[in-house]
Structure 1
Amino acid sequence: MNEQNDTPSEQPTGAKQDAIDINDFVFAATGARVRRLTLPSGEHWFPAVDVGVHLGYVNTRQGVHWHVAADCERSLGDLVRTVYGTETSRNIAGHGLKKSMRMVNLRGLIQLVNGCTKPECAPFKEWVSEVIETIQRDGSYVLDPAPVQPSPDGTTAYLMPQQVADAIVRLEERNIRADEELAVARIERIEQMRRTNEHLGRITDQLGLTNEHLGRVSDHLGRTNDHLGRVNDRLGTLADRVGGVHDVLGRLADSLDVIADRLRPAGPARSAVTPQRLLATWRAKNLVVTEDVHAVAAYLAPALVHGPVHCRLEEVADRTGLTLDRVHDCVRMLLKRGCMRQAGVGAGGLPVYVLP
């Protein structure tokens, strides 16, 4: 089996030499170098799949069935086993071939070419038509002898028909142009890949720098969050301390009020003071400034005109509808404005308030 190449295959010993070089002949017909098996008799057989692919057949087996005569095609296994024997048929796989592969002889190849619609096959078909026409008219077709010295075995070489030679030249030129275009395309593709790789390299470097910067920013944010956490802890501690100081100052102010009440001499009797007059006096001195304070004062005034008052803030809140914190603030306001004073602590820890 001769592989696809540009070198003519060697003829088997004792075989008749081809008048036209078989490689050029097949190349003119198919536009490509195809593999072939040359029998000892000099008959050439070609893989139908090689021929069909280069001639543009989508389904090679169907093309062989439609265009090739039954005596012009055989399976490779039967062909080799018939000619060479069983031992040689076992070595077919070493040539990249399968026993089931369909093979066509030169007549079958020409039949496939005649059934092909590719424009490249037109010169070959024209020459075949000329051969048939010449034989029908003259009774024979003769090739012109080639202007070369006879070969050592005494045979004579013949000229390639002009149509076939022109087809070979066109196909060779087309292949050369295709090779050149392919080489240019490969160079452009390599250059494009190089530029793409450089661009990807720059992008990768930029991503690396960005990741490093993001890492540093994340570290800085982490340290900032830790610092803010410590600041919040310190602010919380300071707020607790300030609250404690306020409580101490409040208790100190209450104690000072108690001491001042104890040291102040007793005033005239207030048996004639009424709750309405007491509230009017507080309003005249602008001591009651809001409705909430007035409500608490109106609740405490009737009890204050009769003596000390054990003030339960919860009860005042229930009676006035104010919140407990608001009642506490109002009581502190009355104490600070001098409307009443604390005279100590009674049973159950309740503060005792009296008029100043």
Structure 2
Amino acid sequence: MNEQNDTHKDAIDINDFVFAATGARMRRLTTPEGEHWFVAADVATDLGYANTRQALIWHVAPDCTKSLNELAQGVYTVDTSRKLAGHRLQKSMKMVNLRGLVALVQGSTKPECQPFKAWVSEVIETIQQNGSYSLEPSPAQTPAVGPPAYVMPQQVADAIVRLEMRNIRADEMLAAAQREQTELLREMSRSQNTIAEALQDIAETLRFRHPQPKLTPRQLLATWRTKNLVFTEDIHAVAAYLAPALVRGEASYRIEEIATRTGLSLARVHDCIRTLLKRGCMRQTGCAADGAPIYVLP
């Protein structure tokens, strides 16, 4: 099963014909014999039918509808499977041939179908009066070059022009709406930024008017004791020595200096500092030029 048949030439391009008839582009499959089949649900939906199954029962002859699985029998190949998947088609889908599609158009009340229905009526009337109906050969075709080409009926051409113009207007309206939406989103973003900046200014103003009270060394030590972070006299002695500098911003002392001030051994001072760091009382940010560690509050 193929999307199109290279050995078959339609008198009127099938895509133009269907577009003029339904006002929409339809998914289709074309058999190797050149017979076109369309997804029944697509046709019914675009023609305004609420129930595809009921529409087929009321308007389409049984021999004008088949399942995609029936059409695929005998010609089902890996390439066919790939094409079906590419068009999001399932083998259980109902399909209608061109006669079934025209029958659904004739039963539709969609305004876009009226020019095509008028042309069909003209064709029937012409056949009734003259016994035949034929398309005008295209004057642009060179004689004896390829299959014959025909002039598209004026009613069909006019319908296609009107539909294309409608689509162009719809595209223009969609583009305008998208531009308006984009500008609205930009304006909302600018407004949000402005609000965020205003809130930040208010916060800064309030912080300036109501500055947070500074923490004293005594309060810092009391907090550590309450949380059981300073639990021995040695650790408390080291903490008390570091606290005044910590509340001012940072403490930078060599272990030897702390040992001298507290009367503790170097090893004990080292253990106390490691405990304060481990318990989160302070953290080390680096070392000063003289090699002394720099400690700050977390």
Q: Report the TM-score when normalising by structure 1.
A: 0.55
Q: 2:91 maps to which residue?
A: 99
Q: 1:293 maps to which residue?
A: none
Q: 1:85 maps to which residue?
A: 76
Q: 1:23 maps to which residue?
A: 15
Q: Does 1:37 align with 2:32?
A: no
Letter in 2 for 1:85: Y
SS of the residue corresponding to residue 95 of structure 2 reads strand
* Aligned 1:174-189 pairs, distance under 5 A: 174-189=166-181
Q: Does 1:173 align with 2:154?
A: no
Query: How far off is 1:208 after superposition?
Result: 2.5
Mapped to 2, the partners of 1:211 and 1:104 lie a distance apart of: 69
Query: How far off is 1:215 after superposition?
Result: 4.4
Cα displacement string for residues 68-109 of structure 1 (whole angstroms, at most 9, x for unaligned residues) = 111111111211124x13655644324321111111110011
Structure 2: 5+ residue stretches without partners: 215-298
Mapped to 2, the partners of 1:183 and 1:69 lie a distance apart of: 42
Q: 1:48 maps to which residue?
A: 40
Query: How far off is 1:18 after superposition?
Result: 0.9
Q: 2:245 maps to which residue?
A: none
Contact 2:27 / 2:87 at 8 angstroms: preserved in 1? no
Letter in 2 for 1:29: A
Q: 1:11 maps to which residue?
A: 5
Structure 1: 5+ residue stretches without partners: 3-8, 224-356
Mapped to 2, the partners of 1:151 and 1:58 lie a distance apart of: 48
Q: 1:140 maps to which residue?
A: 132
Contact 1:150 / 1:157 at 8 angstroms: preserved in 2? no
SS of the residue corresponding to residue 73 of structure 2 reads helix
Mark the CA change 1:214 to 1:127 in structure 2 (over 3 Å): closer, same or farther: same
Q: Which is helix-richer, 1 or 2?
A: 1
Q: 2:68 maps to which residue?
A: 76
Mark the CA change 1:145 to 1:152 in structure 2 (over 3 Å): closer, same or farther: closer
Q: 2:221 maps to which residue?
A: none
SS of the residue corresponding to residue 37 of structure 1 reads strand
Letter in 2 for 1:11: N
Mark the CA change 1:209 to 1:158 in structure 2 (over 3 Å): closer, same or farther: same
Query: How far off is 1:153 after superposition?
Result: 5.6
Cα displacement string for residues 263-312 of structure 1 (whole angstroms, at most 9, x for unaligned residues) = xxxxxxxxxxxxxxxxxxxxxxxxxxxxxxxxxxxxxxxxxxxxxxxxxx
Mapped to 1, the partners of 2:168 and 2:33 lie a distance apart of: 35
Mark the CA change 1:215 to 1:64 in structure 2 (over 3 Å): closer, same or farther: farther
Letter in 2 for 1:59: N
Mapped to 2, the partners of 1:198 and 1:129 lie a distance apart of: 60
Q: Does 1:123 align with 2:119?
A: no
Query: How far off is 1:124 after superposition?
Result: 0.5
Letter in 2 for 1:129: S
Letter in 1 for 2:95: M
- Aligned residues between the structures: 213
SS of the residue corresponding to residue 104 of structure 1 reads strand
Mark the CA change 1:59 to 1:213 in structure 2 (over 3 Å): closer, same or farther: farther
Q: 1:191 maps to which residue?
A: 183
Mapped to 2, the partners of 1:198 and 1:65 lie a distance apart of: 57
Q: Percent identity?
A: 58
Higher relative contact order (CA 8 A, sep 6+): 2
Q: Which stretches of structure 1, 4 residues or more, deviate above 3 A after TM superposition?
A: 85-91, 150-154, 211-220
Q: 1:157 aligns with which of 149, 155, 158?
A: 149
Query: How far off is 1:54 after superposition?
Result: 2.1
Query: What RMSD in Å do the two structures reach over aligned CA positions?
Result: 2.3
Q: 2:240 maps to which residue?
A: none
Contact 2:116 / 2:155 at 8 angstroms: preserved in 1? yes
Q: Report the TM-score when normalising by structure 2.
A: 0.65
